[in-house]
Amino acid sequence: MRLAITRSGFFTADHYCADARSAKKILRENKVSLVAIDYQLVGETNGCEVLAWAAQHALLPNYVVVIESNRVRRTQLAIQLQKVGYRSGDQTTFIRC
């Protein structure tokens, strides 16, 4: 299953979550093969915090796509993914090493 954690529908996915609470529920209850993530979500929690939580609970899939358009926020998401063992050649699609 592909999960998009975003306020917009720009990425094709099986499930869309605009806030951290619903994203965490989907990650806990389903086998997710790919996460597409934005930085800015509905509510106080941002995409970096969702990534950190999912990594801490071993719920991140092997593939994560950063779909944030703001360059600074994209970099923050990329750094968070690199901290937990992901690598990317294009700073958009990240693969767990």
The residue whose two tokens read 């294009």 is: 90
- Interval 49-91: pLDDT, tens: 999 999 999 999 999 999 999 999 999 999 999 999 999 999 9
Q: Are 40 and 47 in contact (CB under 8 A)?
A: yes
Q: Are 12 and 25 in contact (CB under 8 A)?
A: no
- Amino acid 9: pLDDT: 78
What is the number of domains present in the chain?
A: 1
pTM for the predicted model, two decimal places: 0.95
CATH of the domain at 54: 3.40.50.2300
Q: Is the pLDDT of residue 2 over 90?
A: yes
- Domain with 6, as residue range(s), is 2-96
What average pLDDT does the structure give for the chain? 97
- Interval 16-60: pLDDT, tens: 999 999 999 999 999 999 999 999 999 999 999 999 999 999 999
